[in-house]
Amino acid sequence: MNWITKKLSYLSEKIKIVIKKRPTKEEIETSEWTSCCKGPILKKELENNFWVCPSCNKHHRINCRQRFDTFFGKNNYEILETPTPMDDPLQWKDSRTYKDRLKDARKKTGQSCAIMVVRGKINNINITACASDFAFIGGSLGAAEGEAILYAIQHAIENQNPFVNFTSGGGARMFENLIALSQMTRTTLAINELKKNNLPYIVVMCDPTAGGITASYAMLGDLHLSEPDSIVAFAGARVIQATVKEELPEGFQKSEYVQKTGFIDLIVERKDLRDKICSLLSILLKKNSAINSISNETSEDSGTFTKVAS
């Protein structure tokens, strides 16, 4: 091997190393940078713009704390501790154990389950709210998440607060099987109690809201809001396409498409969510108190309120 061949071989090894060296998931998460349409962008720059790209308006996925920081303002809300049912009731194991998955998810998100419940205030309206972290096993619904939603609804009823639910997640958690599916019924029954108390329930469907979550508490709001370009679906597009054997329309299962088909009332940019929800709640609560103040309420009044609140 002459010196030219040696040099070429050395360079080719170096190039291989550079190409192969991609940042790990952990490195991406801890980095100050992320990427969007124009390549790398500082996370700080995104954060200052509600985690929305200033160039393409992409609404980046955010965790629960980031959600409440943008909605209530930093340190303007109180995180409520929710009940913690027994982990891994079915002792599930496939390629990994469910216990290991839970351990990783908790380490990654700093939460005990996918849903965080808080109480906060916007413009003198006390609100009970919850949000889901997609990074916690895809934001899926298990017993702990069901308990968190029940706890949030109970808190809303006890304090006579409206309930705002920022939903996201892929559906019922398969590692909990029937126990996960039963959370759909439990949360639906709890929302009925909220409605019996005439308390407004606003859902903000965040990217992505799908499966059993769409089939239960995400679709039972008095008003359904969503952020631009969010996936709102039940079954995945590929499954539907394979079943109906037809080409699906462009933008199928995006919030803009779902709004046209009547499942979403309003698409609101993240920067406007706080003001929009505040205005909607003011209207709903005013209607509510107006009805309550009429001792002999007429059926016409009730009809008007029901129409507004459903």
CB of 134 to Zn ion, least distance (A): 19
Based on CB atoms, which residue is closest to Zn ion, 54 or 73?
54
Query: For the chain, what is the HEC assignment?
Result: CCHHHHHHHHHHHHHHHHHHCCCCHHHHHHCCEEEECCEEEEHHHHHCCCCECCCCCCECCCCHHHHHHHHHCCCCEEEECCCCCCCCCCCCECCCEHHHHHHHHHHHHCCCCCEEEEEEEECCEEEEEEEECCCCHHHCECHHHHHHHHHHHHHHHHHCCCEEEEEEECCECHHHHHHHHHHHHHHHHHHHHHHHCCCCEEEEEEEEECHHHHCCHHHCCCEEEECCCCEECCCCHHHHHHHHCCCCCCCCCEHHHHHHCCCCCEECCHHHHHHHHHHHHHHHHHHHHHHHHCCCCCHHHHHHHHHHHC
Based on CB atoms, which residue is closest to Zn ion, 40 or 110?
40
CB of 35 to Zn ion, least distance (A): 9
Based on CB atoms, which residue is closest to Zn ion, 140 or 255?
255
Based on CB atoms, which residue is closest to Zn ion, 53 or 105?
53
Write the Ramachandran bin of 141: left for phi over 0, alpha for psi from -120 to 50, otherwise beta: beta
Based on CB atoms, which residue is closest to Zn ion, 51 or 98?
51
CB of 60 to Zn ion, least distance (A): 9
CB of 259 to Zn ion, least distance (A): 22
CB of 39 to Zn ion, least distance (A): 9
Based on CB atoms, which residue is closest to Zn ion, 34 or 198?
34
Based on CB atoms, which residue is closest to Zn ion, 58 or 195?
58
Q: What is the biggest distance separating any 2 CA atoms in the chain, rounded to whole angstroms? A: 102
CB of 21 to Zn ion, least distance (A): 25
CB of 37 to Zn ion, least distance (A): 3
Applying CB under 5 A, the residues found at the interface with Zn ion are 36-37, 53, 55-56, 58
